[in-house]
Amino acid sequence: MKSPYKSLEKTLGYRFKSKDRLTTALTHPSYRNEKGHETCADNQRLEFLGDAVVGLLAAEHLYAHANDMNEGDMTKFRSTVTNRSGLARVGAAWGIGELLRMGRGEARSGGASKESNLADAVEAVLGAVYEDGGHKAAAKVFSRHFVPRLEHRLVQSPDVDNPKGTLQEFTQRERQTNPEYTILEETGPAHDRTYLASVTWDGEELARGEGASKRAAEVDAARKALAVLQTS
């Protein structure tokens, strides 16, 4: 039997071995509460699992790729993709609201577009992917749909100490152009590398920075460039 959720599987980049798991992930509690559907499962348990899965995958990505961040900043960035609004935006991009099985009352009240329903369904789907395919499968979906949003926030967010984002805002405001970063040098053994980065703006080098990762070196260069620009 052809899965009614084939388009969603294509969007996710994951094909379920058990279609029932995906069906459950897309079943709102109001559907189960209607007469005739009392014995079917809703997505609340998968939502619980998915909440933990999304949090773990976001933490893993930040731990591996944001070497210069402290615990507090990583927590703030993790919340940008794991909070209700962030999850709901992912759900809207997936078109998940149109696939949700809801009770008639919930559907009539606009349940397909409610932020809470979209966010819960996204967590449930991630939980279903994890249950169906394990950590590797869930990480693949997370990388495809969450990491680009996380990386965008890493560059743009003014909510934490973010020299690269602040520098970009400055250069955009002044000349509508972006700074450019170049890794000039890598030194030290493989387990203890030091990177040297340069940041230029309109062809002029503003500063150089060092760090234990490429991003850390770029952040250091951006911080020094801001110091130069703010005193000029």
Which residues are known catalytic residues?
Answer: 51, 123
Residue whose C-alpha is closest to residue 147's, from 51, 52, 78: 78
User: Shortest CA distance to 112 belongs to which of 125, 96, 94?
Assistant: 96
